[in-house]
Amino acid sequence: MNTSFEWEKPLEELETRIRELRSFIQEQGIDFSQELNELERKAERQRKQIYANLTPWQRVMMARHPKRPTMLDYTGLVFDGFMELHGDRAVRDDGAVVGGIALLDGEPVTVIGPQKGRDTKENLARNFGLPHPEGYRKALRLMRQAEKFNRPIISLIDVVGAYPGLAAEERGQGLMIAECIEQMSFLRVPIICVITGEGGSGGALAVGVGDRILMLEHAWYSVISPEMCANILWKDSSRAAEAAELLKLTATDLLRFGIIDDVVTEPLGGAHRDHTGTGRQLKAFIKRHLAQLKRKNTGALVEERLQRFRQIGAFSEHTRQQVAVEEPDTAASEEGAPDDSSGTENDNKHTPDKKVGGGYND
């Protein structure tokens, strides 16, 4: 199966030439080391240029790469001794959500997250990574268990959304998502959520309430997928790339808006090219943020978590006279519009000061 992207084709051709030249040198014993080094330098420059200028839609495609690490991959890459726990104690075990206990450098933690399949057979068993209410009920059971035994919770999120089927709705899908969000808000243990691939809709929010929200460099996080957004706005899912641009769903955008706290840099070319390097980087970020959270008492932890989510979406209101003073160019462009002198100013504006790849400062 061809797993390269269209924008990677020039780089792929160059890498093929490099492999062929290496093979020729080994077979013929002729020294073309200078030519080989030049090709390798050219490939490195091209690689950096491509991945530094990806569009939002290209990042969505990167997040969906079939070889990208999954939840179960990360349990081996980041943690030791993962022991999976099954069942929601009510209906059944949902294979679309995985959870259990593991060690993070010797410290017990609870790890939860949606799980996608690698092939058709596994995707059918995992319901294509779309959780039923039982999956969220299982996740919530394990999180409450973590609170009981004072274990930090690590939520690894890669899900396009909760399962939208009739049976799931009949069993209370929306209610279960709401209950997860409510309960996670008040758990008295540190919670770190990481969007590792796709972070779509309520399916991601249900396991996405934490003290720190981290996001891999080529992941996306939004209330809706680009295809569904395009279908709703324009009745045309082929405009998904345009929707992705408008949704501001990339890690860079979300860090700027204060939705997430840190961006986990991926190996050049994406996490699918280097599972081990991605796991090593993610582990370092989790350990750093967890160390900061463990210094807080439980009361402060919960209060700061609540405050963190309450401030999302804060905005300021200004009269046209105030805009004219603060942004004269904007006011001039809107000249002739109805005057709104009755507006009130809200000083609740949220302006985060963070940078990509940087730490979260206490």
CB 185 within 8 A of CB 224: no
Confidence of residue 334 (pLDDT cuts 50, 70, 90): low
Tell me the β-bridge partners of 83: 101
229 and 140 in a single domain? The answer is yes
In a domain, 334, yes or no: no
* Residues 237, 166 share a domain: yes
Residues 82 and 49 both lie in one domain: no
Task: Let me know whether 68 and 47 are in one domain.
Answer: no
Residue 326 inside a domain? The answer is: no
- The reply to whether 39 and 75 lie within a common domain is no
For residues 318 and 334, what is the distance between their CA atoms, to the nearest angstrom? 14
Same domain as 12, residue 91 = no
Q: Are residues 144 and 14 in the same domain?
A: no
- Structural domain contains residue 316: no
What's the rounded Cα separation, in Å, for the pair 291 and 287? 6
Rounded CA gap, 205 and 218, in Å? 19
Structural domain ending residue among the three candidates 265, 282, 310: 310
CATH, residue 139: 3.90.226.10
Tell me which residue has tokens 């799931």. Answer: 168
pLDDT at 328: 66
State whether 281 and 264 are in the same domain: yes
Is position 329 within any domain? no
pLDDT above 80 for 235: yes
127 and 94 within one domain: yes
CA atoms within 13 A on the CB side of 327: 9
Q: How many domains does the chain have?
A: 2
Please give the residue range of the domain that contains residue 37. Answer: 6-53
Q: For the chain, what is the mean pLDDT?
A: 87
Nearest to 158 by CA among 120, 99, 215, 212: 215
Which of 278, 294, 310 lies at the terminal end of a domain, its last residue?
A: 310
- Taking the C-alpha atoms of residue 104 and residue 109, their distance in angstroms, rounded to an integer, is 7
Supply 37's token pair.
């080094």
Indicate if 232 and 184 belong to the same structural domain. yes
Q: What is the reported pLDDT for 11? A: 78
Q: Which two tokens stand for residue 356?
A: 């990509």
Residue 303 in domain: yes
The answer to the question of residue 355 being in a domain is no
What separation in angstroms does the CA of 19 have from each of 8, 43, 129, 291, 351?
Answer: 16, 12, 36, 44, 49
Cα–Cα distance for residue pair 20/347, rounded to 1 Å: 62
Q: Give the pLDDT of residue 43.
A: 79
Comparing 30 with 266, the larger pLDDT belongs to: 266
Whether 303 and 225 share a structural domain: yes
Predicted confidence (pLDDT) per residue in 156-193, tens digit: 999 999 999 999 999 999 999 999 999 999 999 999 99
- In 3D space, the residue among 219, 213, 84 whose CA is nearest the CA of residue 159 turns out to be 219
Is 223 inside any structural domain?
yes
Euclidean distance between CA atoms 6 and 8, whole angstroms: 5
Q: Quick one: 285 and 156 in the same domain?
A: yes
